Amino acid sequence: MLRVCFALALFSVVLSHLCLIDPHQRGSMEGINEPGAKDCLRTTKQCGGMPGPMMEPLVSIMGGHMYNITFQKNLCHYNPKMPGTLDVYLGNGKGKDMKMMKLKTIMDTNTTSPYLYVVEVMIPDEPMPHAVLQVVYNTSNPQAPPMFYQCSDFRIEKSHKGQ
């Protein structure tokens, strides 16, 4: 019985999750209010292995303005000896070779699970018909997967400042 409890505890610790709420992540958000949500378990590099939309994104964000990104650390993997990071990136286009620009880094802390982050970033004032926002949880924890990924697709409209 003790072995079963230990195995279940280890299983729940290893499956940290990251959920991207706004803008909406690729795929569903089923069960995100419960620690260990399966739709937030993405460990494959570049968007957690979730393909982008077949069509150009319908959601638009105005460039040249601050925007609040909302994401959730669904399970905590805080490592006090070497804290990880939560990084926000922006890319232009599709595909595995897409170049990503880092917008923000947050140091990991020992939080409750789930834990909500709201991070303000500057959206570039350049039109992008297909922008990709990627949030990466770098755990720095040898007893957990090294990284978790979530992506969202939208387009960036150029602002009309100064016109």
3-state secondary structure of 9: helix
pLDDT band (50, 70, 90) for residue 16? low
Helix (H, G, I), strand (E, B) or coil at 11: helix
User: What's this model's pTM, rounded to 2 decimal places?
Assistant: 0.86
Q: How far apart are the first and last CA of the chain?
A: 71
Average pLDDT value for residue range 103-119: 96
pLDDT confidence tier of residue 36, bands split at 50, 70 and 90: confident
Q: How far from 74 is each of 35, 47, 156, CA to CA, in Å?
A: 5, 17, 28
pLDDT score recorded for residue 2: 37
Average pLDDT score over residue span 140-144: 94
What distance in Å separates the CA atoms of residue 83 and residue 139, rounded to the nearest whole number? 7
- Mean pLDDT on 92-113: 89
Calpha distance 50→42 (Å, rounded)? 8
